[in-house]
Amino acid sequence: MPIDLTTEYGTLHLRSPIIIGACPLTAQEMSRIALVSAGAGAIVLPSLFEEQIRTWNQKQGFRATLSTPNEPVPKQVKQLRNAVIHDADSYLDLVKHASAEVSIPVIASINGAPHGNWLDFTKRLESAGATAIEFNIRLAATRHCPDPSEVENSIVDAVQKISEIIAIPLFVKLGRQYTSLSHLAHRLLFKAQGLVLFGQAPEFDISLENFQVVSRWGFSEPGSIASSFESIMRVHAIAPEMPLAASGGIGSSSDLVKVLLAGADAAMVTSAVYRDGPDIIASWLDSLGIFLERHDMGSLKELRNRRPKLFSDEDIRAFYVKALSSQPDPYLIRSANRTLECDRWGHIKTSK
Ligand SMILES: Cc1cc2nc3c(=O)[nH]c(=O)nc-3n(C[C@H](O)[C@H](O)[C@H](O)COP(=O)(O)O)c2cc1C
């Protein structure tokens, strides 16, 4: 029996649950072809940043003030065009080419603060052919301490605003810093088509050469998605209608199965593709199929029916009652030269 690995992510029908997360790989034609042939369900293009869009808006405004279209382009415009290698115009070209070229959904990504006219640019991305838009929300480091509800309101308003501008799906990539993620997810229902849990900001570092601050995207530790299972399960329990993509540290086919069991409809993967190449996608999809077959399931829909139920208050109480009264397998912690056998709390029982 063929195994059905298709999934729905919002209104997108994906041929497989693996989405390639926003990163420069998806901006390269050869990589895109390899990712598609490895079985990716969708790709997210690297982000276009708020600052790039604001620069583009300024340039448009500046052009509009030119008296005749034949007038030589002033130096300032030329400099703007040359200064930014990956500017908004070249991003629109990228969206256009990538969307025309691959058979799977191409999701454009914007990254910035949840307010301002720069969000209107989403209409351009839609017109350029993006299947959907992912909004990676960057919270500005402001001098004052905003009330968490102010922050939430700005996100909900921005998402509402974008959803009124575009007709294609909008996905919101959230960081981990929200006070009540489930509440926010609930408020975003029917405004966003789905959430990505969790986005990651570029890391700041200090150069020992010139003492300047530098920022770059770091790779995640394989398996570090485990720290997101609880949040994914909670959000899924509170807002089951909200489509979810898990992201951040999916490093094996077991991680892939677990995020789908936790409540995600798709698994977003970036670092693993950098580490192991696009073929890792095909290998995980094979393993996912084998896993389903071994457990007599023919589709991801059947896997969803096997999700553990957790995180209503009653479920949590029942979980602890059971955990405290049962004798779990000891777990082993391996350090440099010995193996520690611990109980569930990490108390060392034996050391070898
Ligand atoms: C080299 C690189 C570039 C990235 N660029 C972006 C980006 O432009 N926009 C964005 O939202 N996330 C970006 N990310 C973050 C990834 O999309 C993803 O959220 C993060 O790496 C966690 O997933 P992973 O553990 O599978 O790598 C980048 C990550 C890497 C490693």
Q: Per residue in 184-206, pLDDT tens?
A: 999 999 999 999 999 988 888 89
Q: Indicate the SS3 state at residue 275.
A: helix
User: Does residue 345 share a domain with residue 302?
Assistant: no
Tell me, what's the pLDDT at 215? 86
Tell me, what's the pLDDT at 221? 95
Distance of CA 162 to the CA centre of its chain: 18
**Among the atoms of ligand 1, which is closest to the Cα of residue 44?**
17
Q: Is the pLDDT of residue 29 over 50?
A: yes
Tell me, what's the pLDDT at 153? 94
Q: Are strands 244-247 and 266-269 parallel, antiparallel or unpaired?
A: parallel
Supply the pTM of this predicted model.
0.88
Rounded to the nearest angstrom, the distance between the alpha carbon of 36 and the centre of ligand 1 is 18
Mean pLDDT of all residues in 161-187: 94
- Write out pLDDT tens, residues 245-269: 999 999 999 999 999 999 999 999 9
Rounded to the nearest angstrom, the distance between the alpha carbon of 23 and the centre of ligand 1 is 5
Q: Is the shortest distance between the CB of 193 and ligand 1 below 6 Å?
A: no
Tell me, what's the pLDDT at 97? 95
Identify the bridge partners of residue 111 per DSSP, sorted by sequence position.
Answer: 49, 136
User: Does residue 232 share a domain with residue 330?
Assistant: no
Rounded to the nearest angstrom, the distance between the alpha carbon of 180 and the centre of ligand 1 is 24
Query: In the numeric block, which tokens belong to residue 161?
Result: 């605003």
* 51-55, 143-147, 270-274, range with the lowest pLDDT: 143-147
Q: Is the shortest distance between the CB of 109 and ligand 1 below 6 Å?
A: yes
E strand segments, the chain: 7-9, 12-14, 18-20, 42-49, 106-112, 132-137, 170-174, 194-197, 203-206, 213-216, 244-247, 266-269, 331-334, 339-342, 348-351
The verdict on residue 2 lying in a domain is no
**Among the atoms of ligand 1, which is closest to the Cα of residue 218?**
31
The verdict on residue 1 lying in a domain is no
C-alpha atoms less than 13 angstroms from C-alpha of 104 in its C-beta half-sphere: 26
Rounded to the nearest angstrom, the distance between the alpha carbon of 270 and the centre of ligand 1 is 6
User: Does residue 347 share a domain with residue 293?
Assistant: no
**Among the atoms of ligand 1, which is closest to the Cα of residue 272?**
26
The verdict on residue 341 lying in a domain is yes
The verdict on residue 346 lying in a domain is yes
- Write out pLDDT tens, residues 8-19: 999 999 999 999
Rounded to the nearest angstrom, the distance between the alpha carbon of 135 and the centre of ligand 1 is 13
Q: Is the shortest distance between the CB of 23 and ligand 1 below 6 Å?
A: yes
User: Does residue 37 share a domain with residue 72?
Assistant: yes
- Cβ burial of 108 (10 Å; 0-12, 13-18, 19+) is buried
The verdict on residue 270 lying in a domain is yes
Tell me, what's the pLDDT at 289? 98
Q: Is the shortest distance between the CB of 111 and ligand 1 below 6 Å?
A: yes
User: Does residue 34 share a domain with residue 131?
Assistant: yes
Tell me, what's the pLDDT at 313? 66
Range of the domain at 350: 313-352
Tell me, what's the pLDDT at 281? 98
Integer angstrom CA distances of residue 242 from 12, 174, 177, 189, 206 = 13, 14, 19, 6, 39
User: Does residue 202 share a domain with residue 126?
Assistant: yes
Mean pLDDT of all residues in 105-130: 96
Q: Is the shortest distance between the CB of 253 and ligand 1 below 6 Å?
A: no
The verdict on residue 132 lying in a domain is yes
> What is the C-alpha to C-alpha distance for residues 239 and 237, in angstroms, rounded to an integer?
6
Tell me, what's the pLDDT at 277? 96
Q: Is the shortest distance between the CB of 55 and ligand 1 below 6 Å?
A: no
Count the residues in the chain.
352
Confirm if 50 and 169 have CB atoms less than 8 A apart: no
Q: Is the pLDDT of residue 46 over 80?
A: yes
Angle among Cα 112, 117, 123 to the nearest 5 degrees reads: 85
Tell me, what's the pLDDT at 83? 31
User: Does residue 341 share a domain with residue 284?
Assistant: no
Mean pLDDT of all residues in 312-321: 73
Q: Is the shortest distance between the CB of 217 and ligand 1 below 6 Å?
A: yes
E strand segments, 239-293: 244-247, 266-269
pLDDT range class, residue 301, cuts 50, 70, 90: very high
Q: Is the pLDDT of residue 272 over 80?
A: yes
Q: Indicate the SS3 state at residue 70.
A: coil
User: Does residue 208 share a domain with residue 59?
Assistant: yes
Q: Is the shortest distance between the CB of 114 and ligand 1 below 6 Å?
A: no
* 54-63, 89-98, 136-145, 238-247, range with the lowest pLDDT: 136-145
- Write out pLDDT tens, residues 66-115: 544 444 444 433 333 333 547 999 999 999 999 999 999 999 999 999 99
Average pLDDT, the chain: 88
Tell me, what's the pLDDT at 328? 67
User: Does residue 124 share a domain with residue 153?
Assistant: yes
Mean pLDDT of all residues in 16-27: 97
Distance of CA 62 to the CA centre of its chain: 35
Q: Is the shortest distance between the CB of 249 and ligand 1 below 6 Å?
A: yes
Nearest to 222 by CA among 251, 190, 254, 263: 251
User: Does residue 187 share a domain with residue 277?
Assistant: yes
Tell me, what's the pLDDT at 44? 98
Residue 226 is part of a domain; what is its CATH number? 3.20.20.70
Tell me, what's the pLDDT at 64? 64
Tally of domains within the chain: 2
The verdict on residue 323 lying in a domain is yes
Integer angstrom CA distances of residue 206 from 138, 142, 202, 210, 216 = 21, 21, 13, 9, 11
- Cβ burial of 103 (10 Å; 0-12, 13-18, 19+) is exposed
Greater confidence (177 vs 80) lies with 177
Which of 110, 200, 255 maximizes ligand 1 atoms within 8 Å of its Cβ, making it the mutation to test the pocket?
Answer: 200
Rounded to the nearest angstrom, the distance between the alpha carbon of 220 and the centre of ligand 1 is 9
pLDDT range class, residue 143, cuts 50, 70, 90: low
Q: Is the pLDDT of residue 141 over 70?
A: no
User: Does residue 36 share a domain with residue 126?
Assistant: yes
The verdict on residue 142 lying in a domain is yes
**294, 311, 328 — which closes off a domain?**
311
User: Does residue 302 share a domain with residue 324?
Assistant: no
